[in-house]
Amino acid sequence: MAQVQKPSIPKGTRDFSPEQMAGRNYIFDTVRSVFKKFGYKPIETPSMENLSTLLGKYGEEGDKLLFKVLNSGDAFSSISPEEFNKFIIRQNSSRDDVEKSGLEGGYLYDDDEAGIEKVVNSNALSLRVCEKGLRYDLTVPFARYVVQHRNEITFPFKRYQIQPVWRADRPQKGRYREFYQCDVDVIGSKSLLNELELVQIVDEVFGIFGINVCIKINNRKILSGLAEVMGFPEKLVEITIAMDKIDKIGLDAVKEEMLSQGVDEKGFSILEPVLTFTGSTQEKIALISDVVKDSETGRAGVEELKTLFGLIDQAGIRQKVEIDLSLARGLNYYTGAIFEVKALDFAIGSICGGGRYDNLTGIFGLPDVSGVGISFGADRIYDVLTGLDKFPKDAITGTKVLLSNMDASSVAYLLPLAKKLREKGISCEVYPDQSKLKKQFEYAEKNHIPYFIIAGESEVQSKTVNVKNLETGQQTTVPIAEAEDFLG
Amino acid sequence: MAQVQKPSIPKGTRDFSPEQMAGRNYIFDTVRSVFKKFGYKPIETPSMENLSTLLGKYGEEGDKLLFKVLNSGDAFSSISPEEFNKFIIRQNSSRDDVEKSGLEGGYLYDDDEAGIEKVVNSNALSLRVCEKGLRYDLTVPFARYVVQHRNEITFPFKRYQIQPVWRADRPQKGRYREFYQCDVDVIGSKSLLNELELVQIVDEVFGIFGINVCIKINNRKILSGLAEVMGFPEKLVEITIAMDKIDKIGLDAVKEEMLSQGVDEKGFSILEPVLTFTGSTQEKIALISDVVKDSETGRAGVEELKTLFGLIDQAGIRQKVEIDLSLARGLNYYTGAIFEVKALDFAIGSICGGGRYDNLTGIFGLPDVSGVGISFGADRIYDVLTGLDKFPKDAITGTKVLLSNMDASSVAYLLPLAKKLREKGISCEVYPDQSKLKKQFEYAEKNHIPYFIIAGESEVQSKTVNVKNLETGQQTTVPIAEAEDFLG
């Protein structure tokens, strides 16, 4: 055996205690039950995907945040010393020299492109010894799943998936390197009824949680239309990235960023009234409809938004739903509706979001399959439920009855009662050790067990048990034959 | 975007379809409900643990089977080219030279110890660039958890944990590189009531599954006692490893293996009657009690076994429970009772197993904390339930009602009904696209949806719906206001 270690876990990861698990399971069970009620089915995909499946799907920044898994066996011993040495890029070698070396993957260039420091080519060597990575989200694995299993799937395919994902982000408050996503998507249908259904799901989930939210909706086609009528269709990404920051940095800073990205004053003047407009859904639709009237894509986006809000009006959604014309969401694979859900009574970022994507499976060889989905942020929802004290009491209760352990014969007397209680579905425990009664009491209290059944010599003789309600302090002597009904 | 890829997943890993997930969730939900009824509480630990937590805990073979995760950022760029070159072990260097190089970790030696081939030192380099590994089981992370959180935990601590584990084993039928374990343990109590409780849990779980099993029990102290009276106490591990194979290779081969490990004929002649004995629990206890009577440890083991079987007799266990004196189980951390569960009507290895360990947390600095636990093999249980056709029909049903989509007005007519059905807890879907009715039918059939509600123009006018039972083919016209009760 090795020497004693002080135990710890990798930074950015977490242990979950029974109390935390109770809260988390309440969240997962709730979303799962709602997903099921709307006909969504669970799938699971492996934690490790081939790096070829993951790389290039999340942008350059995303690639860096992938956790790579070292090939099993002796990963490096398949590299000959000669090849191994090639991963050292010699001083003063040029970019050409590096390319000639024939190694794939990224390289570490010096800032001064004329010469390269002598360094180990980290990225190239990583890709030589790692074929697998931990999944970064559930969307790309879902796209991979749909393409790989397309012949077994009946479309439209309604799936949900609740699994952890991993990101090598710098850990900070509320940001972890391992966290769960709860995704619900329908793929293979262009109907806006799917968007409605997702709004209904959000409405129902947060209704059960007792959290008041605002469901913000926009449409990526409207954003494209805006970029078009601004005269900068090729700067759609830069424009949406800047727009997305308006809540955080304000209108002036958004303008500054866009101008620095090459948008001109005239272009921004078209966008500005859209970003600052406040009004009803009807008024917003009228405004945007006018602004993007010269863009075919923009008009299509407005039509979709109108239809969706028509459906939402009919459906009797209880939570607040509004058009947010500044809502952009970073991910570039969205092509239609985009969603974001914010808690109204608790300051935290978005707790749910998603949108429609028209070509997610294209990269895996199955083009033109449209889908729409949303993802619930379990960690933030946990924080909101905790902050607003909305976890239902019965969600976190465990054992209902503790049975005492005085000696072997009293245990023998109580074991059949424990069995009967469990047959009635009442969770109970027999205290395993013959400890002092005080210690057994403390165990019940610390574990929030509401009933403690005590049987000593006199109870065994009189065929009774002593039932103590630890919440009220009340103590009752009951014939053992009636104890199960007394507690049921 | 990169070029089109043919999607695949890493070997030894699996996607789970909705049908498979239904079966798996049935298994997890069942064991979870039983664990809860006995007062066990869930915890979860991170998928990645520090390698220092995992290495050295599973033997040399286990260390090799750990999946290592490459440090995030540019893992190799923190290595200078000079240090990097040290990982190449030069030809003809001696073991001394290697040790002098100061690199930690294992080395690749040539068979001829005099000289070493020029190779990349895979293990040493791995440890230089990987600090984390994927968990190999749930037991070591549990021990780590208990020590790390000992001040928050009330002992005895009864926990269950259902999470995936990863092993870089060679994939083969029934052996995967990612699979779930369902562990239930109580730590901080030496009472045999805990062993009884685990037997009760096994009894109840397989009772619900409808699988007939045999619960085999032995005690590690008896095995130690046997090695002692055989005259080879120091060969306990070799003896138990050989004994464990008796079902597979037979008595003669077991004898051969032991003799080759240095056990003599006289020693084996003491063991032989124990391995071949058949009889009742009482007879087995009488036999072993006599054989190990000169070993204090052996006598203690017999006492424990007697007490445990006394408790089991009183508890009214429905499944078969027997002493198996040849049961050894490979894991060396067991110190008391050991368990193994086999299906009686289906040929497959053990589907559940475990035992008592007296010092699992010692390695992390908390000595003398005794615990006992078992682990359910979800994949094998899935195979048994499939093979014996024991999955309950209602465990795998999804949506109950599909509502047709003929045109926008018929959908508007049906949406309030869908809402009412869901409010009653009936899962239903509105077909999202205005496809041909035949296609909608097929969707219902392929998804095993038992009811299809159709409303065309005439139904909308007459305020009715057409309810088709897809199992019987029966079709009924019902006023829409009564449809929810008709289906409820």
Q: What per-residue confidence (pLDDT) applies to A105?
A: 38
User: How many Cβ pairs closer than 8 A exist between chain A and B?
Assistant: 331
Chain A contact for B428 (CB, 8 A cutoff): yes
Whether residues A447 and A322 share a domain: the answer is no
Contact (Cβ atoms closer than 8 angstroms) between residue B411 and residue A197: no
Residue B56 domain-assigned (yes or no): no
Residue A76 domain-assigned (yes or no): no
The domain tally of chain A equals 2
Whether residues B346 and B427 share a domain: the answer is no
Facing residue for B7 by CB, picked from A121, A364, A433: A364
Chain B contact for A39 (CB, 8 A cutoff): yes
Q: How confident is the model at residue B488 (pLDDT cuts 50, 70, 90)?
A: confident
Contact (Cβ atoms closer than 8 angstroms) between residue B365 and residue A6: yes
Residue in the block written with tokens 């990101």: A167
Domain end among B360, B387, B414: B387
Q: Which CATH number goes with the domain that contains B430? A: 3.40.50.800
Least confident of A58-67, A255-264, B34-43, B401-410: A58-67
Burial class, A105, CB count within 10 angstroms (exposed 0-12 / middle 13-18 / buried 19+): middle
Low-confidence ranges of chain A (pLDDT < 50): 1-2, 91-92, 103-112, 114
Whether residues A288 and A233 share a domain: the answer is yes
Give the other-Cβ count within 10 Å of B176's Cβ.
20
Residue numbers in A near B46 (CB within 8 A):
9-10, 13-15, 178
What global pTM score does this model have?
0.91
Burial class, A470, CB count within 10 angstroms (exposed 0-12 / middle 13-18 / buried 19+): middle
d(CA B413, CA B411): 5
Query: Smallest Cα–Cα separation from A367: which of A335, A339, A338?
Result: A335
d(CA A75, CA A68): 13
Chain A contact for B166 (CB, 8 A cutoff): yes
Whether residues B335 and B415 share a domain: the answer is no
d(CA B197, CA B459): 59
Interface of B with A in 189-248 (CB under 8 A): 189-191, 193-194, 197, 200, 204
Q: What is the mean pLDDT of chain A?
A: 91
ipTM comes to 0.91
d(CA B137, CA A115): 48
Q: How confident is the model at residue B119 (pLDDT cuts 50, 70, 90)?
A: confident
Facing residue for B48 by CB, picked from A125, A178, A193: A178
Whether residues B140 and B220 share a domain: the answer is yes
Residue A100 domain-assigned (yes or no): no
Q: How many residues does chain A have?
A: 488
Residue numbers in A near B125 (CB within 8 A):
76
Asked whether the beta carbons of residue B10 and residue A419 sit closer than 8 angstroms, the reply is no
Asked whether the beta carbons of residue B36 and residue A74 sit closer than 8 angstroms, the reply is no
Chain B contact for A261 (CB, 8 A cutoff): no
d(CA A285, CA A304): 11
Give the other-Cβ count within 10 Å of B134's Cβ.
25
Residue A127 domain-assigned (yes or no): no
Residue A258 domain-assigned (yes or no): yes
User: Residue type at A97?
Assistant: D
Residue A49 domain-assigned (yes or no): no
Facing residue for B75 by CB, picked from A42, A126, A145: A126
Structure tokens at B470: 């897809």
Asked whether the beta carbons of residue B56 and residue A2 sit closer than 8 angstroms, the reply is yes
Residue numbers in A near B122 (CB within 8 A):
74-77
Q: How many residues does chain B have?
A: 488
Substitution target in B37, B41, B317, B411 with the highest count of A β-carbons within 10 Å is B37
Domain end among B341, B368, B387: B387
CA distances from B314 to A397, A405, B320 (A): 30, 16, 14
Interface of B with A in 386-425 (CB under 8 A): 398-399, 402, 405, 411-412, 415, 419, 422, 425
d(CA B483, CA B475): 13
Residue A80 domain-assigned (yes or no): no
For the CA atoms of A70, A73, A75, A77, the dihedral, rounded to the nearest 10 degrees, stands at 170
d(CA A149, CA A152): 6
Using DSSP's 3-state secondary structure scheme, residue A123 falls into helix
Burial class, B69, CB count within 10 angstroms (exposed 0-12 / middle 13-18 / buried 19+): buried
Whether residues A236 and A378 share a domain: the answer is yes
Give the other-Cβ count within 10 Å of A134's Cβ.
25
Asked whether the beta carbons of residue B156 and residue A433 sit closer than 8 angstroms, the reply is yes
* DSSP symbol at A325: T
Facing residue for B363 by CB, picked from A1, A16, A419: A1
Structure tokens at B482: 């009564």
Residue numbers in B near A190 (CB within 8 A):
433
Q: Which are the contacts of A485, defined by CB distance < 8 A and separation ≥ 6?
A: none
Instruction: Count the alpha carbons within 13 Å of B183 in the hemisphere toward its beta carbon.
Output: 27
Whether residues A233 and A293 share a domain: the answer is yes
Chain A: nearest CA to B248, how far in angstroms?
28
Where helices occur in B158-245 by DSSP H, the ranges are 193-209, 220-230, 236-243
Strands B464-469, B451-454: pairing kind: antiparallel
Chain B: nearest CA to A324, how far in angstroms?
25
Give the other-Cβ count within 10 Å of B150's Cβ.
17
Which H or E element spans position A50?
strand A48-50
Whether residues A383 and A436 share a domain: the answer is no
Structure tokens at B251: 């008595």
Asked whether the beta carbons of residue A13 and residue B46 sit closer than 8 angstroms, the reply is yes
pLDDT (tens digit, 9 = 90+) per residue, B419-461? 999 999 999 999 999 999 999 999 999 999 999 999 999 999 9
Chain B: nearest CA to A116, how far in angstroms?
13
3-state per-residue secondary structure call for B18-31: HHHHHHHHHHHHHH
| Domain membership of residue B418 as a residue range | 397-487
Range B290-301 average pLDDT? 97
Q: Which are the contacts of A107, defined by CB distance < 8 A and separation ≥ 6?
A: A89, A98, A121, A123, A124
End-to-end, the C-alpha distance of chain B in Å comes to 50
Q: What per-residue confidence (pLDDT) applies to B29?
A: 94
Q: Which CATH number goes with the domain that contains A275? A: 3.30.930.10
Q: What per-residue confidence (pLDDT) applies to A109?
A: 43
Q: Which are the contacts of B8, defined by CB distance < 8 A and separation ≥ 6?
A: A50, A53, A148
Contact (Cβ atoms closer than 8 angstroms) between residue B395 and residue B33: no
Query: Smallest Cα–Cα separation from B53: which of B125, B171, B140?
Result: B140
Please give the radius of gyration of chain A, using alpha carbons only, rounded to the nearest integer: 30
Whether residues B293 and B411 share a domain: the answer is no
CA distances from A147 to A151, A187, A467 (A): 9, 11, 60
d(CA B97, CA B57): 29
More confident of the two residues A117 and B38: B38
Structure tokens at A251: 């209108």
Q: What per-residue confidence (pLDDT) applies to A459?
A: 96
* DSSP symbol at A218: E
Q: How confident is the model at residue B122 (pLDDT cuts 50, 70, 90)?
A: confident
Q: What per-residue confidence (pLDDT) applies to B289?
A: 97
Using DSSP's 3-state secondary structure scheme, residue A344 falls into coil
Whether residues A183 and A313 share a domain: the answer is yes
Asked if the bond preceding A81 is cis, omega within 30° of 0, the reply is no
Rounded to the nearest angstrom, the gap between the alpha carbon of residue A327 and the centroid of all alpha carbons in its chain is 20
Backbone region of residue B129 per phi and psi (left: phi > 0; alpha: psi in -120 to 50; beta: other values) = alpha
Chain A contact for B349 (CB, 8 A cutoff): no
Structure tokens at A313: 């009006």
Structure tokens at A250: 């304000």
Domain end among B335, B360, B387: B387
Whether residues B347 and B237 share a domain: the answer is yes
Q: Which are the contacts of A355, defined by CB distance < 8 A and separation ≥ 6?
A: A220, A329, A331, A334, A336, A337, A338, A339, A372, A373, A374
Asked whether the beta carbons of residue A7 and residue B190 sit closer than 8 angstroms, the reply is no
pLDDT (tens digit, 9 = 90+) per residue, B75-85? 888 788 778 88
d(CA B199, CA B317): 8
Whether residues A413 and A453 share a domain: the answer is yes
Give the other-Cβ count within 10 Å of B229's Cβ.
18
Chain A contact for B68 (CB, 8 A cutoff): yes
Give the other-Cβ count within 10 Å of B111's Cβ.
5
d(CA B350, CA B355): 14
- Residue B121 confidence (pLDDT) above 90: no
Residue B200 domain-assigned (yes or no): yes
Residue numbers in A near B37 (CB within 8 A):
422, 425-428
Contact (Cβ atoms closer than 8 angstroms) between residue B268 and residue B305: no
Contact (Cβ atoms closer than 8 angstroms) between residue A292 and residue A298: yes
Facing residue for B125 by CB, picked from A76, A405, A433: A76
Facing residue for B189 by CB, picked from A41, A433, A447: A433
Q: How confident is the model at residue B98 (pLDDT cuts 50, 70, 90)?
A: low
